[in-house]
A and B are shown apart, each in its own frame.
Chain A
Amino acid sequence: MTAPDKGFTLSPNPPQHALHLHRELNRVWANDRGWWGQITAVNHTTLGLRFMATALVFFAIGGVLAMMLRAQLATPAGVFLDTELYNQIFTMHGSIMMFLFAIPMLEGLGIWLLPKILGTRDMAFPRLTALGYWCYLFGGLIMLTALLFGVAPRDGWFMYTPLSGATHSPGINADIWLLGVTFVEISALAAAIEITVTILRQRPPGMTLTRMPLFAWYMLGTSVMMLVGFPPLILGSVLLEVERAFNWPFFEVARGGDPLLWQHLFWLFGHPEVYIIFLPAAGAISTIIPVMCRTQIVGYGAIVAAILALVFLSFGLWVHHMFTVGIPHMALAFFSAASALVAVPTAVQIFAWIGTMWRGQPQMHLPMLHIMGFFLTFVMGGLTGVMLAIVPFNWQAHDTAFVTAHLHYVLIGGFVFPMMAAASYWMPLISGRGRIKGLGEAAFWVILLGFHGTFFVMHLTGLVGMPRRIDTYPDNPEWIWLNLTSSIFSFVLTIGFALFAIDMVLQALLGPRTPRDPWKGQTLDWAMMRPTPSYTFASLSTRPLTPGQPAGEVALRLARGEGLLPGAPRGRREFLVTEIGTGRPDHVAILPGNTALPLAMSAMIGGFVLLMLAGLYILTPLALAGVGVLIWRWGRSLTTPHDHPPVSIAPELSLPVHHHSRATLVQSGIVCLLVANGTLFASLLFGLGFLTVVAPNWPAPLPLRGGMTEAILTVAAVGALALGSLAVRLRIGVVPAITGLAVNLLALALVATLAAMALHDPTNHARDALRAVLTGYAGLHVLMSAGFAGFVWQMALRGELSPNRPGVVANWRLVQDYTTVTAAIVALVVIWQGIAG
């Protein structure tokens, strides 16, 4: 970390009256009043807290389910649950903990904290935050409702086919999982996109990437992993749902599918998922340890390198969940080595943290206590992880209680303990109140005892042969004492968590008021007034904190408006957008305000999900059309009919508003979306390649339809799209827009014709099903491009387009080019299949 670059040192604005500024900003940024205000809220503080609170409710529900599992396993022939119910409960426990607790929790933490730590005023796309929340809530409620009615998923949290296929899982149980989880994952993608953009574009001037607080680095790693990690799961879920609902074979062996394709897609997501959960927790640790030790972090650069290595490596390990499926030993050795290698960046971080503690003077406040719990638990979980990465040992331990023990060591050690540390660390900022002494410490010790009592013996339970996911074991009396021990301590653990919750509630309600910045924090979140205002900072910091500078020092200056962009004199939500690498000020973004549009949108998507669950497939296009209309309205509200004057952010610097900028936040967001989309497309191609090469019943019995005519039409469709890509590059105006619309519609008609002429019945064989999916993928994107062109055309008609306001055309261009390229790839694949026979 070097001294701040002189080029960015902006002089301060004249001080103003802090209270006056507060009132002015609050009028613009605050939520609407009352219940309606909760529905229309888009503010990151509100939504971040709401994400976390909801996640805690799901944690409690997941915990109750865990208690039911432990009650059943306490005795060898338990009759507390029947097998059907036991299967539903362990599936729901795992799915809730992973998808409805851990992921939303870290999203909530990121959304709540990032704007504060980066010194900006909100996330890049506040309405997207709200959309994500509602999708999460509704998806979670659908899954919970299924549990109440006894039709919850029951095939385990990784839903292996063929068990989860239509033949072996009739009924809607599996559909609930596939549709519900995918619905929830909309929120993961939304969070990933806006977290990435917020970190890259909303840092204070001069905060280069290498001067960013580590928490932001960790969240950046997380969000990039989410962008690339979730698409394979979403693709797999969509394919499996299509197989179940419409009988298109992808995983069914007899018709050219392969159950291993599901496993690859699932674990391509599933392994990175573990790091997605761990990284934000590690980010919290890297933030808290230096503060608790009154020093600076050891090895900033090494930690950043470790994060990048983890992001990269964790996509090369998924096969370690598949060591027993019969892959050749030498291939396994490769993944075994990669899995062990991932321990290196983890070790770098652990030692950097310990080094930080050596350099400073650790003080045993409650957050530090939880970090001690983390060290003990996570190190043990990491070591059993290395053991499991060793192939021969994995052959014994796989799918036993040993794995159950391992995964809880890493998840509770690597996520729950750090989150408890984070909760007790940031509670003064959330509630403005301090703790009631003693209760939190008691909770910690009870949790530590309960956790290790439950899960330590479980390693042995697995080694003496107990498989996971079994509900009775009458023939194995030697497992009784092990299971009984686990069950008893799991109740201790529950008591510990209850104490923790009570401590939090008491602190929020009764705790003594704390001074601002009680820990002498080193990040900008501690430069906020309290209770945290809706707009975060009355003015934005002119430069990053210098290392070692307590954040509290700048608080007053920011509150008095001496920083950048003070107040809300223009009566709109504004913050500063900077360039990605350098942190050079770029433009001022104007944000949309409170709105119920996100709720309406997620309700419409929820309608689609419910129609699918009810089997009313005929009606689903209605819901989809509704989604389309809402997207249109969403976009319309971003347009502006006239030019806007530049905004002064500091005495010597005025910046254009985003309408006049080439590189808007929306554009960065669309790039992120296309990265995720491209990963989904790549996963689809991977699926096609995998089945073609590996699946047993290939080649397909029926020869392909189509010949020269179809090939020519295919090329014509791609040609039309290329014209679209050309049109979008022309002068901004009516003619290019209408040309773009026309060629896209032409391409759409060609795709539809081709589908009718050349596709076999997709239910015949995986080859035909995949060709139909590829065609549908291309068609959907052509439709989207047509929509974009039509949108631009309408803007042109209304006189809203101007060469000074290039935003929407640049966005259309991204989508149009993506469509052209993916359609060309689809065309190549389809034609190549025809030639290859």
Chain B
Amino acid sequence: MLVGCDGPLSTLSPAGPIAAEIAWLWWAMLAGAALLTLMVGVLVAMSFGRPRDIPERRWTVTLGVWFSIAVLSVVLATGLWLGERILPRDDGAVTVHAHGFQWGWRFTQPGADGQPVETLDTLYIPAGQPVDVLVTSGDVIHAFWVPRLAGKIDAIPGRENRLRLQADMPGRFDGVCAEFCGLGHAVMRFAVIAYPPDAPPEALTQLEGAPE
């Protein structure tokens, strides 16, 4: 079963705390939804017995209003609490820049010596610490999404959006554009390379300090 949930773009095999929190939220909601579906199914099935006159308000008010409000409140509160936890904060996290265009991503990240380094379709981030991505676009709307590390955020012309990523371990994580952006949408892929903070990859040392 879990085998089917793996994959380089799977939200269900998270590789960082943010994606992990959302993944457990999903599993919890799935369990709840399964129970509710079962409950409705049983209630429907039981209606085929002999006629029973239950007071109307038990259906409409007790079940319809109070029961559903109770369930929804739990889900909402959990979602709100979790959403607050994974938000970008002013805590001096490393900041990188992702600029979407038809059809690719131009990334700017701090090089080994602190100077910004520009790369195409590959983003380098230090592993084991939060990284904030500033997402912009030069033409149409795209969306920056690395499912194993975090949720997605849109790249919108005229705006700068911020998304927090975090990878537990060094490794390569796939990303895709999630907002339809024309002919090249399906191939607008990129990679995030998380490196050990004390051993930055060659790309960050070689290309350093060559901003256009």
Contact = CB atoms under 8 A, between A and B. Distances in A.
B47 A259 contact: no
A259 B154 CA distance: 12
Interface in B110-158: 139-141, 143, 145, 147, 150-154, 156-158
B199 interface: no
Interface string B80-108: 10111011000000000000001000000
Contact of B54 (A350, A355, A362, A384): A355
B83 to A, nearest CB: 5
Contacts of B25: 390, 392-393
A622 interface: no
B72 A344 contact: yes
Interface string B32-72: 01001100110110111011111011111101110111001
A470 interface: yes
A391 interface: yes
B181 interface: yes
A360 interface: yes
Contacts of A347: 63-65, 67-68
Interface string A244-273: 000000000100001110000000000000
A326 B159 contact: yes
B52 A358 contact: yes
A599 to B, nearest CB: 38
A476 B150 CA distance: 19
B203 to A, nearest CB: 21
B72 A398 contact: no
Nearest to B161: A326
Contacts of B143: 324, 399
B54 A400 contact: no
Contact of A357 (B44, B75, B159): B44
Contact of B44 (A155, A372, A695): A372
A302 interface: yes
Nearest to A86: B186
Interface string A776-811: 000000000000000000000000000000000000
Interface in A312-353: 324-326, 329, 332-333, 336-337, 340-341, 343-344, 347-352
Contact of B59 (A354, A466, A479): A354
B191 to A, nearest CB: 11
Given A351-B64, A379-B37, A343 B152 contact: no
Given A162-B141, A344-B69, A348-B64, A325 B181 contact: no
A383 B30 CA distance: 9
Contacts of A5: none
A380 B37 contact: yes
A392 B22 contact: yes
A324 B153 contact: yes
Contact of B68 (A343, A352, A469): A343
B72 A343 contact: yes
A410 to B, nearest CB: 14
Interface string A173-197: 0000000000000000000000000
Contact of B33 (A383, A471, A476): A383
Interface string B1-43: 0001111111110000001011001100100010011001101
B79 A466 contact: no
B180 A469 contact: yes
Given A298-B60, A347-B68, A392-B79, A384 B33 contact: yes
Chain A interface size range: 35 or more
A83 interface: yes
Chain B interface size range: 35 or more
Chain A CB within 10 Å, residue with most, of B10, B68, B147, B180: B180
A326 B65 CA distance: 32
A375 B48 CA distance: 15
A148 to B, nearest CB: 21
Interface stretch (A457-465, A612-620, A822-830): A457-465
A396 B151 CA distance: 4
A302 B56 contact: yes
A351 B37 contact: no
A348 B72 CA distance: 14
A177 to B, nearest CB: 14
Contacts of B59: 298-299, 351-352, 354-355
A332 B83 CA distance: 10
A344 B65 contact: yes
Interface in A443-480: 460, 463-473, 475-476, 478-479
Nearest to B12: A463
Contact of B75 (A87, A386, A479): A386
Interface string A219-237: 0000000000000000000
Given A344-B64, A473-B186, A696-B159, A358 B40 contact: no
B182 interface: yes
Nearest to B26: A393
A321 B8 CA distance: 26
A812 to B, nearest CB: 45
Nearest to B23: A396
B153 to A, nearest CB: 5
A359 interface: yes
B77 to A, nearest CB: 10
A739 interface: no
Chain B CB within 10 Å, residue with most, of A299, A351, A400, A471: A351
A84 interface: yes
A464 B80 contact: no
A379 B36 contact: yes
B179 interface: yes
Contacts of B64: 299, 302, 306, 344, 347-352
Given A390-B29, A392-B83, A465-B147, A398 B152 contact: yes
Interface string B171-212: 000101111111101110100000000000000000000000
Given A324-B153, A351-B60, A475-B189, A359 B43 contact: no
B25 to A, nearest CB: 6
B180 A163 contact: yes
A361 interface: yes
Nearest to A83: B183
A468 B145 CA distance: 13
A259 B161 CA distance: 14
A160 interface: yes
A354 to B, nearest CB: 5
Contacts of A337: 76
B11 to A, nearest CB: 5
B43 A354 contact: yes
Contact of A163 (B8, B50, B159, B181): B181
A476 B26 contact: no
A362 B52 CA distance: 12
B43 to A, nearest CB: 5
Contacts of A383: 33, 36-37
Contacts of B9: 464-466, 476
A376 interface: yes
A306 B68 CA distance: 13
Contacts of B63: 347, 351
Nearest to B148: A465
A168 interface: yes
Contacts of A344: 64-65, 68-69, 72
Given A380-B37, A384-B33, A696-B158, 8 more contacts: A83-B183, A344-B69, A344-B72, A357-B48, A396-B152, A399-B178, A467-B145, A476-B7
17 contacts: A87-B182, A155-B180, A258-B158, A298-B59, A306-B64, A325-B156, A347-B63, A347-B65, A348-B68, A352-B60, A358-B47, A359-B54, A376-B41, A383-B36, A392-B82, A395-B153, A467-B186
Q: Which 3 A-B pairs have the closest CB atoms?
A: A395-B151, A465-B9, A348-B64
Interface of A: 83-84, 87, 155-156, 160, 162-163, 167-168, 253, 258-260, 293, 295, 298-299, 302-303, 306, 324-326, 329, 332-333, 336-337, 340-341, 343-344, 347-352, 354-355, 357-362, 372, 375-376, 379-380, 383-384, 386-387, 390-400, 460, 463-473, 475-476, 478-479, 695-697
